[in-house]
Chain A
Amino acid sequence: MKESKILSQENASLQTKIVSKGKTVQGVLLFFASLALVILPYVVQQPFYLHVFILIFLYAVMGGAWNILGGYTGQVSLGHAVYFGIGAYASTMLMMEWQISPWLGMLIGMILAVLVSLAIGYPTFRLKGHYFAIATLALGEIFMIIFSNWEWVGAAVGLYLPILPSVWINFQFTEKTPYYYIALGMLGLTLLVTRLVEKSRLGYYFRAIKNDQDAAKALGINTTYYKMVAMAISAALMAMAGTFYAQYVLYIDPNSVLAMSISIQACLVAVMGGVGTLWGPVIGAAILVPLSEFTRSYLGGSGSALDLVVYGVLIMLIAVFQPAGLMGLFGRNQARRKEA
C-alpha cells in the first residue's frame, strides 16, 4: 500500500528507485520462501500436511500449464484433462507393458501429449471464444469415453500400478518426502518455463493474440502457429503433472485423470489466482487445495457432500468479490482502486 501511494506521485526517478527496490525485496522474499519450502519436510512430519503441500504443487503445475494457453494467450481450454490423462496413461502403460522407467515414460507421455495437442489445436484454433471452449470440452469427453471403453488401458476399471521397490528409477516411494521434492521441482520448472515465455518474444506474441487476435494477425503474427506453440508447452507441462499423479496415487482410471473436473480444476486454480500472471496459479493452488482438503477432512467425513457445498459457495464468493483473481489483492491496480 505504502509503495503504491508513493508510486502514484509523478516522480519518475523515485519510481524507478522504488521499483528496483521492490524487485530486490521480491527476490529476497522468493529466496526465503524457496528455502522454507526446501527445509519444510524436515520440520513438518505429519503425512497429511506433506500431502496437502504435494497437492498444492501439483495443482499449481496444472494451473501453470493451463495458464500458458488460457492466461497468456487467451484461449480458454476446458479440455486440458486430455493431456493430464495422456501423461498418466503413457507412463503407466509403458511401465506395465515394457518395464520402462516412469521417468522416461513421462518424457514420452509429454511428447505424445504435444502431438495430440497439435492435432487438436490445428482444427479447433479456427474457433474463437466460447466456441473454442466448448469444442475442447467436447474433445475432452471424447477421450474420456474412448479410454473408458478401451480394454488394453483397463477401460472403466482403471489400472493399479504394480508396487516396485522404493528407488528413484521406479518413481515410487513409500515416504512422502521424495514426492514432495519432485512436485516442488516440477513447480519450479513450470515457473521457469512461464518466466521464460513471459520475457521472450513468444510472450509478446501470446499477449498480442489474447488482446486482439485480428489485430495480431494484421501485424503479421502467424496466430495459428503461436497458439499451437502455446498449446504444445501447455500440454507438455500438463502431461508431466499427469505422470506425477499416476506415480503418487498408483491407481488411475478415466474418472480420476480424464474427467472434465480435472480440466476445470486446472482452469480454476489459474483463474482464482490471477490469469496471465506468473504467480497466479501458485496462489490459486495455495488457496484452493487447502480449502478443499480441509473442508473435506472436517466436513466430508460422513460421506455427505457438505464439503463440496461449502467449496462451491467459496468459489462463487471469490469469483464475485475478486473477479480479477487473488493476485489482484497484491497488485497495484487493487491498491489504486482502494485509494480512489
Chain B
Amino acid sequence: MEGLTTEIVIQTLVSGLLWGCIYALIAIGLTIIFGVMDIVNFAHGEFLMVSMFIVYSLSLLGINPLISLPVAAIALFALGILSYKTLIRRVLDAPMLAQIFVTFGLMIFLRNLAHLIYSADYRSVAVSVFQGRVEVLGIYLSTPQVIAALVAAVMTAAVYWFITKTEMGWALMAVAENKNAASLMGINSERMYALAWGIGAACVGVAGALLANFYYIFPEVGALFGLLAYVVVALGGFGSIQGAFVAGIIIGVTEALAGLLIDPSVKYVIVFSVYVVVVVLRPKGLMGNV
C-alpha cells in the first residue's frame, strides 16, 4: 500500500489506543451494572448522550468543560440512581426479557426527549479549553483526545481501586457474588444496587463529558457508542472490569487499524467480526468468570 509509512501506522495505533481508553470507560460503567445485578442496560449509550448534552448546554452558558465534567458526572450518578429507583427496582424478579425491555423503553424515551429538546442537529461545544494538536515523538495527536484518554484511564483505575480496595467496593462485590449471603452479613443489597447504577452511570457520564469536547453531539450519538460498549463488555467478559479495559483497547486499536488498512466505511465490520470470532472461541469473553 502506498504512503503507508511507519509514522502513519504508529500514529494510527496510538490514536486507536486513545479511543480504546474511552471505550473502556464507557464499557466499565455497563459492566459494573451487569456484574452486580445481571442486567444489561440498553440505555447506556443514551446515558452517554445525556452527559454530552449537559456539557453542551453548560457550554452555551459559557461554562468551561473542565467545570462541567464533574457536574455531568454527578448528574449522571443521580440519573443512574433515579433509573434504578423508578424502573429497575420494580423488575428485579421479572424475567430477563422484561428487564431488557424496561431499558429499551428508557433508551427510546431519552433519545427522543433529546430530539424533542435539541432537534436532530449535530452540535459541538461552544467553549473548548483543549484545542489543537500535540506532538509526541514525531507523531501528532489531537489534544482533547489525549486529555480524554488520560482522564478516562485515571477514572478507570479509580473505579477499579474503589471496587477492589474499599469496604464499599467489597460490599458491592459481595452482593454481586451472592445477594442472600451478603444480606446476612448486614449488607443492604438495595443500596448496593442503587450504588452500582449510580457509579455505572457516572462512569459513562465522565466519558460523555470528555467526548463532548471533540465529538459531535446529537440525539442518536448513543447508538454507536452503546453498541460498542456491549461488544466491549461481551468481549472482555460480562462483569469483568479488567476485561472491559483490555477489550476496550483491543476494539479501539482494531477500529483504527481497520480504518487505515481496509476502509473507514467498513471498519466496524472488521471490529464486530473480530469480536464474534474471539467470543465464539472463548464463549465467556476474555476474562469472564461467570
Contact = CB atoms under 8 A, between A and B. Distances in A.
Contacts of B227: 137-138, 141, 260
B109 A304 contact: no
B200 to A, nearest CB: 15
B276 A320 contact: no
Nearest to B113: A309
A308 B109 CA distance: 7
29 contacts: A76-B96, A130-B34, A130-B40, A131-B279, A133-B100, A134-B231, A135-B234, A135-B275, A135-B276, A135-B280, A137-B230, A138-B272, A139-B276, A142-B272, A142-B276, A148-B265, A149-B266, A271-B98, A304-B116, A305-B115, A308-B111, A309-B112, A309-B113, A312-B108, A313-B105, A315-B104, A316-B109, A320-B87, A323-B98
Contacts of A318: 105
Q: How large is the interface on B (under 10, 10 to 19, 20 to 34, 35 or more residues)?
A: 35 or more
Contacts of A323: 91, 94-95, 98
Given A135-B276, A316-B87, A320-B87, A145 B101 contact: no
Contacts of B104: 264, 268, 315
A324 B107 contact: no
Contact of B101 (A139, A268, A313): A268
Contacts of B140: none
B269 interface: yes
B108 A142 contact: no
A127 B280 contact: yes
A5 interface: no
A305 to B, nearest CB: 4
B113 A324 contact: no
Interface of A: 70, 76, 123-124, 126-131, 133-135, 137-139, 141-142, 145-146, 148-149, 260, 264, 267-268, 271-272, 275, 304-306, 308-309, 311-320, 323-324
Q: Is the interface of A mostly helix, strand, loop or mixed?
A: helix
B137 interface: no
B230 A319 contact: no
Nearest to A134: B234
Given A76-B97, A134-B231, A145-B269, A312 B279 contact: no
A275 B91 contact: no
Contact of B95 (A313, A316, A324): A324
B87 A131 contact: no
B108 A308 contact: yes
Nearest to B273: A142
Interface in B77-92: 87, 90-91
B95 A130 contact: no
Interface in B221-239: 223, 227, 230-231, 233-234, 238
Interface majority SS on B: helix, strand, loop or mixed?
Answer: helix
Contacts of B223: 260
Nearest to A313: B109
A314 B94 CA distance: 18
A76 B284 CA distance: 17
Contact of B280 (A126, A309, A316): A126
B112 A320 contact: no
A289 to B, nearest CB: 15
Contacts of A131: 234, 238, 279, 283-285
A174 to B, nearest CB: 33
Contacts of A130: 34, 40, 234, 238
Nearest to B107: A312
Contacts of B101: 268, 271-272, 315, 319
A196 to B, nearest CB: 24
B244 to A, nearest CB: 13
Contacts of A312: 105-113
Contacts of A126: 280, 283
A308 B112 contact: yes
The 7 closest A-B pairs by CB, nearest first: A312-B109, A315-B105, A323-B94, A323-B98, A312-B108, A316-B105, A305-B115
A320 B91 contact: yes
A160 B22 CA distance: 40
Given A315-B101, A316-B102, A138 B231 contact: yes
B98 A319 contact: yes
A10 B101 CA distance: 37
